[in-house]
Chains A and B, each alone.
Chain A
Amino acid sequence: MLFNYVIGVSLSKKDNRGKVNKKTLLTIGIISNILLLGYFKYADFLIENMNSLLNSHMSLLHLALPLAISFFTFQQIAYLVDSYRGETKEYDFLNYANFVTFFPQLIAGPIVHHSEMMPQFSKTKNKVKNYHNIALGLFIFSIGLFKKVVIADSFAVWATQGFDVAVSLNFFEAWATSLSYTFQLYFDFSGYTDMAIGAALLFNIKLPINFNSPYKATNIQDFWKRWHITLSRFLKEYIYIPLGGNRKGQYRTYSNLIGTFLIGGIWHGAGWTFVFWGLLHGIALVVQKIWSSLGFHMHKILAWFITFNFINIAWVFFRAKEWNDALKVLHGMFDLDKIHIAKVFLKNIIVTSGESLEQDYKTVFSFQNPLIEYFHELVLTFGLKTYVNLYISEMILFGFIIILFTLNSQQLGLQFRTSIKISFPLYILAIFSMGCSLIIMSLNTGTVFLYFNF
């Protein structure tokens, strides 16, 4: 941090009479950051690939990954680049340190920009207690906590069962697995972001939004304008545009897009599955650009359907620990033979409530969210016959309803912010979210946020 601060200050100085020129200084700064990130995050990946290429037996380092290294490395690189460009002011070190280590967003973003954070740290007005911000912060934090603890962690169990435990998956299970992860990742990551935004507001600090209903996107470009917005911003400003962006012709634009997303993929994790995920998104963006340039149009619902399914399938590679896990899930999703098994399974549930198939199914998806189980039991007592192993279908349906038909936390936050008096439904939503999350947290311990690894 001190190293980056010193280099940043040197770069931002107007006179250029130092012994080392600014470009060299910037290069040293960026390379040092990337080397550090590379050492901790990618050393084992590199060694594994070297071993496999050269048939050697170098031992892996098994280094502990410093918490949030990917996030603070990007933030600091952006600071260095902007200092070089002369776009930074002379910040004091304390504010700089606060910018890099600000705890609400440190471990999983949003990736903040110095220009939007450091002025807030130094503003005297922000050091005064502000009930408006506290109330809004608590509201957004509660929604984020609910998304993470109640929704994402419910899907997490099924995703883990499908990806990591099951040996093979039938059609129904494979789709349930991939959709579970798609929902888990969104609710987990956006829930965390909401909590970061909410917690920061308690200190009168406004963080940038990071999600805007990404699964409502009707094309892949639209998706990246809604998903992990601050990462997209970074990739665009500090990789895509420096590579030339769309200024150097059509083919160069395409290669820049793919290159940017390959870097985005490897940034998420040290593995070929991440690289492939980045490649898929890069290619999808190129395809979309070509499609648009040809002047084609698609019906909105069909466009949403294709976009959502592409994202869902691409997440399979993002989640899978090994290629084989990804192929296992994809094989189940698209193997027509396995549809038959799923049909028999559903028929048995609906018509005969066949024990054996239910049992088989339970062996894969046997866990339920305690809160959902609670409501389920109540449903049973009113005489409505449902089945334990259909929780996952209910939850997936619930997930679709939330992502497609409800206001997102930013929109809810806007309602909250603009109302002089808070309405009763918003109050109930806030206390219900917080109360239920506290209950679930009291029941379950040891859950982790997905994005802290990245």
Chain B
Amino acid sequence: MKKKLFTLLFIVGALSIWSLLPLYNYSIDQWRVLHKDYHYAYERIMINKVFLKEAYLLDYENKYDTILMGSSRNGSFDVDRISGKTYNLESSFSTIGTHLHNLRILLNEGLEIKNLWISVNDYDTWKNANDFESDWARRPYKNTIIEKFEFYRFYLYKNIDKRDISIFEKKSKLVKSERIVEKINRNIMYEKEKYILDNAKFWKNKMTSTGAILLGYTDSKYRIDEAIKDIKEIRDLCKQNNIQLTILMYPSFYKTYISYNQRKIEEFKKKLVKVTPFYDFYMLNDIALNELNWFDSSHFTFSIGNYIIDNIKLDKHLITKDNIKQHLMQVRDSIHSLIDKVLPIKYIYPFHADIDLSSLTPIFKLIDNIDTYKVSQKLIYQKKSNKILLKNLDDHSSILLKVMNISTENVILDFRLTSKYATRFKISYKKTINSEYNTKNIFSRHVGIGTNHYHLSIPSEYINYGIKINFGEAYGTYTIDDFTIYQ
């Protein structure tokens, strides 16, 4: 080939190879975004609901006048209970930021909305909607040319993964799907719920013995003010467009609830009510405390969805500037319900250290009793004002708590430890009075440098048979600032 021809064919050839990837991705289109296909989905692959639902709404702009925006928890809402022209714009892990983005587009495209329901999650206090810009299954709809260009480039120049190959090999087939077009599949939901009720014992056991779905919550970064700002903008857009706005906060399963920093949730609610009244179902009430109300630790059942809609229509659970103070006091007190109704959780279960325990009754303080407890020879202790200084000379040194006689199913331990080292503390226990201390499944938690604060729900039987606590594996000195058991 001559050099001039080479130059021409080089450009054609290189561009052809460059275009292979987008062609392949277009033909596969795991999330059905590139085909804007809301009628079909691949088996076992999550479609990009937030994009497709928005696209569907824009294609059928006169079909609905009420939009219900929320996360996958919205999947348990039968929106026909609101009105026949309601569309459930639910999408996995969506946040207030996502809803604002979607609302802006719907209004820009001229959709006429009369009512807007927004469901708020606990994770709205920390999750940033911008994170979904790099999430294939959750990247939201775009409507400007530049945004669209970047959006399609994102999907067309995507790295090929295992699922693409399984689709290519026809292992995963494209099947008719009603996930976007249909509001809810009542039959499936009721079947699932019936299964739970028919197997109540099994389900309760399952729900108590599995951990909570926390979606990456870490209690280190919050964006409450940003979320409130987004809600303000939603409120203002609704006012400008004569849209009736309804905001609700989902209920939470008690395990998820106690894993969250409730002071932050309280702060969020206080700020939210200054912007708009809202319906609050987020507390340790009967919904939260009954395992049979939950498909998993994040998603409530269809009946609870109905309950929420019916209560909102009756204006129950409405929180306003006038009743927020009283309401939050009730929420704080509801920690009692956890002790009274939920327990036993049949194993040691940590929950957030910032949950206020002041309304509970302290039944034991280590500082007052340390002299009567067995301490390993390699552990030296010293009482100093209201604290206990420990000098650890062995990695197995521990304190053995005396047998107690607690009648409730569980107790809550409030434990604060100051350490100079990063280490772990461990709790071992006996299952019966005569059995040996467990050597497997020993409860253990990370101890960081500085003050560490823990709240643990402990089955009372462990306390009654005498638990063994190793305060820190590392040699050295520690300070126990507090070790109080509440009932």
Contact = CB atoms under 8 A, between A and B. Distances in A.
A378 interface: yes
B14 A134 contact: no
Interface in B376-410: none
Interface residues of B, number: 25
A431 interface: yes
B10 A135 contact: yes
A377 B165 contact: yes
Interface stretch (B155-163, B317-325, B443-451): B155-163
Nearest to B162: A377
Contact of B16 (A373, A430, A435): A435
B2 interface: yes
A405 interface: no
A131 B159 contact: no
A412 B160 CA distance: 31
Contact of B3 (A134, A374, A424, A439): A134
A432 interface: yes
A299 interface: no
A1 interface: no
A431 B13 contact: yes
Contact of A427 (B13, B157, B165): B13
A340 to B, nearest CB: 24
A70 interface: no
Interface string B425-440: 0000000000000000
B165 A378 contact: yes
Given A132-B3, A427-B1, A442 B157 contact: yes
B165 A435 contact: no
A438 B14 CA distance: 8
Given A427-B1, A442-B153, A138 B18 contact: no
Contacts of A20: none
Interface residues of A, number: 29
A427 B14 contact: no
B108 to A, nearest CB: 28
Contacts of B10: 135, 138-139, 142, 427, 430-431, 434
Interface in B6-44: 6-7, 9-10, 13-18, 20-21
A431 B14 contact: yes
A377 B161 contact: yes
Contacts of A142: 10, 14
Given A374-B159, A434-B14, A435-B18, A381 B7 contact: no
A421 B1 CA distance: 5
A131 B165 contact: no
Contacts of A432: 17
Interface string A111-141: 0000000000000000000011011101100
A373 B161 CA distance: 8
Given A135-B10, A427-B10, A438-B14, A381 B165 contact: yes
A86 interface: no
B2 A431 contact: no
B157 A138 contact: no
Contacts of A435: 13-18, 20
A443 interface: yes
B4 interface: yes
Contact of A439 (B1, B17, B153): B17
Main secondary structure of the interface of A (DSSP, over half): helix
Nearest to A371: B159
A422 interface: yes
B18 A134 contact: no
Contacts of A131: 3-4, 7
Contacts of A135: 3-4, 6-7, 10
A370 B158 CA distance: 9
B59 interface: no
B169 interface: yes
B21 A442 contact: yes
Interface string A415-454: 0000011101001001110111011001100000000000
Interface string B162-202: 10010001000000000000000000000000000000000
Interface string A297-329: 000000000000000000000000000000000
A371 B4 CA distance: 31
Interface in B42-91: none
A443 B17 contact: no
B312 to A, nearest CB: 45
A314 B211 CA distance: 50
Contacts of A139: 10
Which residue, A427, A431, A432, has most C-beta atoms of chain B within 10 A? A431
Given A134-B7, A377-B161, A427-B9, A442 B169 contact: no
A321 to B, nearest CB: 24
B1 A422 contact: yes
Which residue, B15, B18, B153, has most C-beta atoms of chain A within 10 A? B18
Given A422-B1, A430-B10, A439 B18 contact: yes
Contacts of B16: 431, 435
A439 B2 contact: no
Contacts of A427: 1, 6, 9-10, 13
A132 B1 CA distance: 12
A420 B160 CA distance: 39
A374 B9 contact: no
A100 B455 CA distance: 67
A389 to B, nearest CB: 16
Interface of A: 131-132, 134-136, 138-139, 142, 370, 373-374, 377-378, 381, 420-422, 424, 427, 430-432, 434-436, 438-439, 442-443
Given A427-B6, A430-B13, A431-B14, 12 more contacts: A134-B3, A135-B6, A135-B10, A138-B7, A373-B159, A374-B160, A422-B1, A422-B3, A431-B10, A435-B14, A438-B18, A443-B157
- By Cβ-Cβ distance, the 8 closest A-B pairs, closest first, are A435-B17, A431-B13, A434-B14, A442-B157, A370-B159, A135-B3, A438-B18, A131-B4
19 contacts: A131-B3, A135-B10, A142-B10, A370-B159, A373-B159, A374-B159, A377-B160, A377-B161, A377-B162, A420-B2, A424-B1, A427-B10, A427-B13, A434-B17, A435-B18, A435-B20, A438-B14, A439-B17, A442-B21
Interface of B: 1-4, 6-7, 9-10, 13-18, 20-21, 153, 157-162, 165, 169
